[in-house]
A and B are shown apart, each in its own frame.
Chain A
Amino acid sequence: MNLIKSIFGLLTLLFLQIFIFNNFLFDGYLNPYIYIAFILFLPPRSSVFYTLSLAFLIGAIVDVFEGGYGVHTAASVFIAFLKPLIFRIFRAGKNELSESSDIKQLGLLRSLAYVFKGLFLHHFILFSIENFALDNLLPLLMRSLYSSIFSFTFVLLYQLWNYRR
């Protein structure tokens, strides 16, 4: 049941990403990429191989539909690899939770910070790979920041909707 639920969640996210967010809603300076939230919300205890493979698959699907040629794949695999690290940073001082730890157990503020950090990193990596150069770093950073704030808002809304059901 849980599996079906998460597959449904993944499909919803991908659908929103490919047919709404990629195209007509904010096709401009702000590019919200919400699909990475699925990786970020995976239980922290899940195997790294599983996370990496899933990230590869999701990134590839988004790439195919956006014509990004591997940009999304590279970025989301990278995030999947960094995820345990990011999670550990925000778990600092709450080590007693190490067994069966879950995002919910981070507390509201920390989990929000964790998701935002993940989104921001993903946008930054994505835009850097897309540019294939780091020469105009400031615009890149600003663009990542604005876009990740945007994505963050949508991820929050999505989560609210998810919990209500």
Chain B
Amino acid sequence: MRYFFLLLKRSRVLLYFLLLESIAFAWIINKRSYQRSQFLSATTEIKGNFQGLAAQTKAYLNLKEENEQLARENIRLRESLDESFIFQNFGADTINSRTYKQRYTYVDAQVISSSHFKVENYILINKGRLSGLEENMGVIGPSGVVGVISNVSKHFARVIPIINPNLRISAELAQDGYFGPLRWLGENYRESSIQDIPPYANVQTGDTVKTDGRSSFFPRGINIGLVKSTSLQADQNFLEVTVSLSTDFAKLRKVYVVKDLWINELDSLNMRP
């Protein structure tokens, strides 16, 4: 027993070191706890206030590029308006009135801080609970999908972008209709990959990849990117498709948060056993 205590005394520095390291690693491993998300929404608020100021200056300097981007998007939207279509009715005797109901609305927001070179990237945006944002709402940018909101504070929200390995969304190959989970592998912020595409799918380089509407995060048909290459997965049974992402996370400024107006009704169906 005496020797045991002697040993303990001699290696007390090592033991203390190991104790501190195990606390740190426990923290790393348990990063998805409820307490953390509570805590994050508090620190998000503090950080957001500080960075909002810097982001304003930055936004001013980038006004020109942003305007061009918005103008391009306006053109695209205008093209999809009813007035851009010609209505031709050849001999039909009934006219369909509108039976569409609005499902999605959008809230525009500015990025106030973001990272794209880390493994776990996050984005802070300048709208929060007061603007009606909630967790698990999708976020899209002018050129495509950005990510999903993970934490909301009063005035700010934290977005997990698709360049974070913790987020998986469902992606669809627009040509074939096959779909699979889009998962980022943590290397290049311009690329991501889709797993579990059947090997008989005819995937061509340059095919468009879009959201498929199976998740409640995004409407169907929002751009994700273009197919860059395909390869067999490690299990040899499915294809893995490398996608070059259409959103450039290095210069993302303006985003839109997608609000699904029918989410409660959809969730109530999903919840049912």
Point out residues on A near B: beta carbons under 8 Å.
Answer: 19, 23-24, 27-29, 31, 48-49, 52-53, 55-56, 59, 63-65, 67, 69-71, 73-74, 77-78, 81, 129-131, 136
Contacts and interface: CB of A to CB of B under 8 A. Distances in A.
22 contacts: A19-B50, A23-B51, A23-B54, A23-B113, A24-B58, A27-B114, A28-B115, A28-B250, A56-B24, A59-B24, A63-B27, A64-B43, A70-B23, A70-B31, A71-B24, A73-B20, A73-B24, A73-B27, A74-B21, A77-B20, A81-B13, A130-B120
B116 A28 contact: yes
Nearest to A131: B119
B62 to A, nearest CB: 13
Contacts of B122: 67
A130 B118 contact: yes
B186 interface: yes
Interface string B18-33: 0011011111100100
A110 to B, nearest CB: 25
Interface string B24-68: 111110010000100110010001001100100010000000000
Contacts of B114: 27
Contacts of A130: 118-120
A95 to B, nearest CB: 22
A51 B91 CA distance: 86
A16 to B, nearest CB: 13
A69 B16 CA distance: 20
A77 B24 contact: yes
Nearest to A84: B13
Contacts of B20: 52-53, 55-56, 73, 77
Contact of B24 (A31, A65, A74): A74
B262 interface: no
A79 to B, nearest CB: 11
Contacts of B26: 70
Which size class do B's interface residues fall under? 20 to 34
A71 B88 CA distance: 62
B54 A71 contact: no
A48 B13 contact: yes
B187 interface: yes
B161 to A, nearest CB: 13
Given A52-B17, A81-B17, A74 B119 contact: no
Q: Which DSSP category, helix, strand, loop or mixed, fits chain B's interface? A: helix
Given A27-B115, A69-B27, A70-B23, 19 more contacts: A28-B115, A28-B116, A31-B117, A49-B16, A55-B20, A64-B39, A65-B47, A67-B40, A67-B43, A70-B24, A70-B28, A73-B20, A73-B23, A73-B24, A73-B27, A74-B24, A77-B17, A77-B21, A136-B187
Contacts of A52: 13, 16-17, 20
Interface string B88-118: 0000000000000000000000000111111
A78 B51 contact: no
B36 A69 contact: yes
A131 B118 CA distance: 9
